[in-house]
Amino acid sequence: MKIFRNIYNNKLVFFGSIIILLLVFIAIFAPWLSRYDPSDIDLNNILAGPSFKNILGTDSLGRDLLSRIMFGAKVSLKVGFIAVGISTIIGIFIGSIAGFFGRWLDSLLMRFVDLMLCFPTFFLILSVIAILEPSITNIMIIIGLTSWMGIARIVRSQVLSLKEREFIQAAKVIGASNARIIIRHLLPNALGPIIVSAVLGMAYAILVESSLSFLGLGVQPPTPSWGNILIEAKATLGIAWWLTLFPGLAIFITILGFDILGEGLRNWFKNYE
């Protein structure tokens, strides 16, 4: 109960968690919460405004907008979780190796990180997506493979500050292997900054996916995504305001939720240092 009390007392963590848990609930239970199939076309109900029948209105093919946004949440969160999972694993591996062994290996890996940071990440993703077939799988992998550098630097700095501590020296004296020292002693003590970076990375991954889908290089129709809902709404911007307002709000609230949660966790972990 103490951890829940601490979460409640930290308002940023509390409100951020509420937003994210609500989005996860909608994404998981979208097939049961939605009144309509997101792909059902109703040519007799094209561009209908918000009403009791269609709470957020319909699009240019008569599809229910609320259903498409709810199913789009599933796509966005899936991309965020998997892409951040990939980038976190890569970042932890490279950062821990560089920080623990140091010397020429540290210099080599950090120069590689600097090289990756020289390329504007979004344009690098655009270039790769333009070569490969646009699909949700490719998007998740590419975002993960191009956004690990920040976590690598964070892990390296944490390992550098921890590896000279007494408990690490004691582990070396009793003959613990390098892998055991890194996995059992260093990484658990560097978990706070890693979690914060991963949470903030979720917001970035979802925003990138929405941007790619808006440009037509992300999730392809008829699969609903917040980005491709927006690009389809561009042609009717002057007569169907709901088609841009509500998907835009979904992206805004999601990014805001992860940013609030990340900032709250950052302050929380600082208090326990």
Residue pLDDT, tens place only, 92-105: 999 999 988 878 88
Residue 25 has pLDDT above 90, yes or no: yes
Whether the upstream peptide bond of residue 120 has omega within 30° of 0, thus cis, is no
Confidence (pLDDT) at 210: 87
- Which of 97-111, 164-178, 179-193 bottoms out in mean pLDDT, i.e. has the lowest? 164-178
Query: Does the structural domain 58-271 have CATH classification 3.40.50.720?
Result: no
Confidence (pLDDT) at 138: 83
**Average predicted confidence (pLDDT) for the chain:** 85
Q: Are 258 and 200 in contact (CB under 8 A)?
A: yes
Measured CA to CA, the distance from residue 168 to residue 146 in angstroms comes to: 32
Confidence (pLDDT) at 174: 81
Confidence of residue 255 (pLDDT cuts 50, 70, 90): very high
Residue 6 has pLDDT above 70, yes or no: no
